[in-house]
Amino acid sequence: MATNFEPDIASLLTELSSIQTELLALLDEKRRLLIEKRADELGELETRERDLIGRLQTCHDRRGQLLAQAEEAELPCDSLRSLVATADQPNRGELRSQIDKVASDGRILQHKSLANWVFVQRWLIHLSQLLEIIATGGQLQPTYGKGTETNASGGALVDQAA
């Protein structure tokens, strides 16, 4: 591999690792705020999230540029891992371990993001069920057929008419 790729890849991986660390901390903070039901503070995380997304996009663009340069140099260009495989022996091991760490942290980020998403979805279902209880006065409407009608004109939860 041309030696000019190695510092660029190392720099990219260092930056990506730094962003991932910040994003992991942000996701942990977001989960804590969700659990503590502090919605007002959740909105404050948006600017940090947008900044991190912009930085991730920059890393993605740099990766694309590196792979395009590798293709022009007739080197493997399908992934950074395959490009690193052509690096000089002393640098190859360090770059591989950086790639492995970034990939592992990426999987952890996916897992934490999914966990937060599931938490929010369950919370929305709970709120939906509460709204339905309030709207129907706690009386369930028959799902099928012409069963007994329920009186949902007044609800004990809303206007004490029960």
pLDDT confidence bin for 2, thresholds 50/70/90: very low
Query: What are the pLDDT digits (tens) for 61-98?
Result: 999 999 999 999 999 989 999 999 888 777 788 999 99
Q: Kindly give the interhelix angle for 45-72 and 5-35, rounded to the nearest 10 degrees.
A: 160
Q: What is the mean pLDDT of residues 45-58?
A: 94
pTM for this entry: 0.75
Neighbour-count burial for 50-89, b at 16+ CB within 10 Å, e otherwise: eeeeebbeebeebbeebbebbeeeebbbeebeebbeebee
Please determine, for residue 3, whether its predicted confidence score (pLDDT) is greater than 50.
no
Instruction: Enumerate residues 6+ apart whose C-beta is below 8 A from 149.
Output: none
pLDDT 10s digits, 20-37? 999 999 999 999 998 998
